[in-house]
């Protein structure tokens, strides 16, 4: 995996925002099974603003972009999702700092910081049926790929695809978990048997990012 530039950060973040907006109904439907059904729409409220205003963001550094998104999400997304997702971006932005490009190791540090922020803000841990149950396995997969010779030389295409697959698999495995956080926790045993909406969203987002990355850097991509 090579250094990532601000343009590549733009690709990832815009893909993420568009995927959230496009899948708002799906995420809300998943959330309605044991939650209040507003998860997808709440996220959309914030990421629609991100998409609309992206061209006006301060792009002097990776940290500046991530922090701006974090502030928008914290302000525009309702319920518990705003503080949690906003904190994730703010923590990642703090680690990115004034970098205008970053190495794979920097990306892992940003993802770990986001995870720590989510845990602190939401009081959640692994195994409690939250987005962490997909985000952490995906991050672990990416970290392992950094030092694996089998994942070198393709600008991260295979590594990102594997991380997306790890997230999707982990999200599916939340079916067997008992919800311990959010409104779903109030449903007790009824929360078992359905996937967590946040974890599923992480998988869907990473699949979209992997596809966009493969389109840009995969075999046959325009150079």
Cβ(108)–Cβ(70) under 8 Å? no
Average pLDDT for 208-214 = 97
Say which residues have a Cβ less than 8 Å from residue 193's Cβ, sequence separation at least 6: 175, 176
Going by C-alpha positions, the residue among 57, 53, 27 that lies closest to residue 39 is 27
What does pTM read for this prediction? 0.91
* Percentage of the chain exceeding pLDDT 70: 88
| 53: pLDDT strictly greater than 60 | yes
Binned at pLDDT 50, 70 and 90, residue 221 comes out as low
Round the average pLDDT of the chain to a whole number and report it: 90
pLDDT (average), residues 177-206: 71
Pick one of 3.30.70.1280, 1.25.40.340, 3.40.50.2300, 3.30.2350.10 as the CATH number of 4-217.
1.25.40.340
CA atoms within 13 A on the CB side of 36: 11
pLDDT (0 to 100) of residue 78: 87
Note whether 117 and 135 are within 8 A (CB).
no
* DSSP secondary structure string for all residues of the chain: ---EEHHHHHHHHHHHHHHHHHTHHHHHHHHHHHS-S-HHHHHHHHHHHHHHHGGGS--SSHHHHHHHHHHHHHHH--TTHHHHHHHHHHHHHHHHTT-SEE-HHHHHHHHHHHHHHHHHHH---TTSSSTHHHHHHHHHHHHHHHT-GGG-SSTTHHHHHHHHHHHHHHHHGGGGSPP-SSGGGGGGGGGTTS--HHHHHHHHHHHHHHHHHHHHHSTT---
Question: Would you state the pLDDT for residue 177?
Answer: 77
Domain ranges of the chain: 4-217
What is the per-residue pLDDT for 152? 84
Mean pLDDT on 62-71: 98
What's the average model confidence in pLDDT over 6-10?
A: 94
Find the length of the chain. Answer: 223
Residue 126 to residues 148, 158, 208, 221, 223, Cα–Cα distance (Å): 25, 26, 24, 37, 40
> Taking a C-beta distance cutoff of 8 angstroms, is the pair 161, 212 a contact?
no
CB count within 10 Å of CB 59 equals 16
**pLDDT for 182:** 54
């Amino acid at each position: 995996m090579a250094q990532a530039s601000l343009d590549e950060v733009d690709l990832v973040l815009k893909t993420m925002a568009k995927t959230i907006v496009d899948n708002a109904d799906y995420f809300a439907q998943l959330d309605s099974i044991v939650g209040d059904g507003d998860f997808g729409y709440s996220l959309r409220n914030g990421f629609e603003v991100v998409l609309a205003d992206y061209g006006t963001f301060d792009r002097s550094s990776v940290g500046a972009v991530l922090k701006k998104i974090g502030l928008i999400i914290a302000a525009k997304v309702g319920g518990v999702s705003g503080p949690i997702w906003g904190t994730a971006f703010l923590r990642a932005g703090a680690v990115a700092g004034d970098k205008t490009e970053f190495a794979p190791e920097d990306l892992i540090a940003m993802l770990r910081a986001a995870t720590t922020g989510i845990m602190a803000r939401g009081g959640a841990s692994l195994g409690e049926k939250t987005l962490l149950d997909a985000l952490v396995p995906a991050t672990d997969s990416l970290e392992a790929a950094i030092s694996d010779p089998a994942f070198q030389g393709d600008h991260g295409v295979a590594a990102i695809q594997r991380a997306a697959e790890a997230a999707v698999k982990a999200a599916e495995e939340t079916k067997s978990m008992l919800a311990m956080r959010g409104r779903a926790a109030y449903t007790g045993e009824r929360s078992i048997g359905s996937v967590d909406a946040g974890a599923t969203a992480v998988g869907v987002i990473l699949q979209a990012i992997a596809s966009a990355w493969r389109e840009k850097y995969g075999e046959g991509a325009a150079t």
